[in-house]
Amino acid sequence: MRQLKWVLRTCALILILFGAVTSASLENEESELVMVNVLFRHGDRTPVNPYPFDPYRNASYWTTGWGQLTTVGMQQHYELGLWLRKRYISLLKNDYSKADLYIQSTDVDRTLMSAESNLAGLFPPRGSRMFEPGLKWQPIPVHTIPEHLDHLLAMKKPCPRYDAEFAKARNLPEIKKLEKDHQDLFNYLTFHTGSEVRTIENAEYIHSTLFIESLKNLTLPEWTKKVYPEPLRMLAQWSFAIPAYTPELQRLKGGPLVKEWIEHFNKKRSGTLEPNRKMYVYSAHDTTIANILSTLGLFERHCPPYTSTVLAELHKIKNSYYVSIFYKNSSVARPMTLKGCSQLCELDKFISLLKPVIPDNWEKECHYNLMFSSEDLNDLSISALATSGILSLILLAVLVIGFFKQRRQVQDQFRYQTVSTNADA
C-alpha cells in the first residue's frame, strides 16, 4: 500500500512539473497577438443620486449634473486610450478603421463620453484625418442600444430566471448572516442619511456617494467617521460579488459577454471573422467589470475603480491559439490565471473550462420554467434526447420484427399451398 501511494505521489509530481515546464516553455515561445477584447469602466463621475440628508445635495456642487462624467474622468480615459495604443501598437494601424475596431457602450452618458475620450487617445487624427487644424480629435462611431434591451453590458434586459436565482443567492447563509450582523449599522445609516438602508446594496449606494464627495475634498459629516471608509467599504465590496455569486447567476449575467468573446476567438482562429477585426472595445460600469471577473472565476472582492479594465487577448503560437486575461485596476495590467489552466490558456481548454457558465440560448434560459436551473434543463434535454433515441430504436426494432414476421407468413402460405396434378383430375 505504501509503495502504491509513493508511486501515485510521484506520478502526480511529474504531471505538475510537466505542466509547469510546458507552461514556461509556451511563455518563452514567441507569440503573435492576433486580437483583443477590451472591457473598461467609465471614468470619474458625480454622484448618481445624493441621499436625502446629504449636505452636498444642492446641484451647485455638481454643475455637470448627477451621474455625469467629470473632466477628471475624461482625462483618465484619454490617458487609458494612450496606454492601450502603446500596448497594442503592433496590432493596430496608425489610423482608425472600422475593419479593425468596433466599440460598444451602455446607453449612459458617462460611458458614451468615456468611450469618446478613450478613442481620442487611442486614435488621434493624423494628416488628412485632421479636419480642423490643431484639433487632435476625430469622430469615431460608438455603438449602443437602450438599457432595457442590453443583456451584454448594462445587463438590464429583463430575465425572470436571473431574478429568481438572485433572490435565492440573497438567502444564502453567508449573505443573510452578513446583513444580520450589520443591522445596527443599517439603522445608523437610515437615521443619519434619511434613506432606507436595509440591504448590502443600500449600503453600497451610501458608500459610493461618500467616496465621491471625499475625492472632491468635501468635508464629510461627523457621523460618517464611525462608518466610512470601514465597514462601509467591506459591504460595498460584497455588493459587487452577489450579482454573479453562483454559477447560475454567472451564466445569466456575465455569460453572454464572455460567449461573445469566445465567438470572436473561434472565428478569428477559423478565418471566418467578418469583418476581420483586431479589437473589440466595451465601455461599461463597475458592476460589469465585477460580473465578468466573477464569470471567469477571477473576482476578488473589491470595488472596481474608475477606468478599471479587463483585457482578453488571443495569441497564436506556431499553429495553436491561446487566451491571456489581464486586469488593469491601477497603472499595471496584472495577468490572471483561470482555475485549471495556465496563464497562457489553450483556446479549446479555455472554452471547455467556461462551458458551465456560457448560456446556449440566453433568451430561452431566462424564461424557462423556474422550477429547474439551466443545468437541470441541460440534463433534461440530454435525457429527452436519450429517451427519444431509445424509443426510436424500439420502434425500429418493432417495425423490423413486424416486417420479417409478415414475410414469414407469406412464405408459409406458399409453402403449404396444395399443388394440383393430373392424377387428381
- Map residue 284 onto helix, strand or coil: strand
Residue 262 neighbours by CB under 8 Å, 6+ apart: 350, 351, 354, 358
Cα–Cα distance for residue pair 336/38, rounded to 1 Å: 15
Candidate list 44, 54, 150, 286, residue with the active-site label: 286
Length of the chain: 425
Active site residue 143: no
Burial of residue 214, with CB atoms counted within 10 A of its CB: 0-12 exposed, 13-18 middle, 19 or more buried:
middle
36 within 8 A of 312, measured Cβ to Cβ? yes
Q: Is 148 a catalytic residue?
A: no
**Backbone CA torsion sign across 111, 116, 119, 121:** negative
Cell of 375: 443545468
d(CA 270, CA 274): 11
Dihedral (Cα; 149, 154, 156, 159), 10-degree rounding: 90
CA atoms of 38 and 80, how far apart (whole Å): 11
Angle at CA of residue 106, ends 101 and 109, nearest 5°: 105
Which helix (H) or strand (E) covers residue 163, if one does? helix 160-170
CA distance 266 to 300: 28
- Given 3-state DSSP classes, what are the helix, strand and coil percentages for the chain, each rounded to the nearest 5? 50, 10, 35
SS3 354: helix
Catalytic residue among 42, 77, 182, 285: 42
What the block records as the C-alpha cell of 271 is 478565418
Q: Which residues does the annotation mark as catalytic?
A: 42, 286
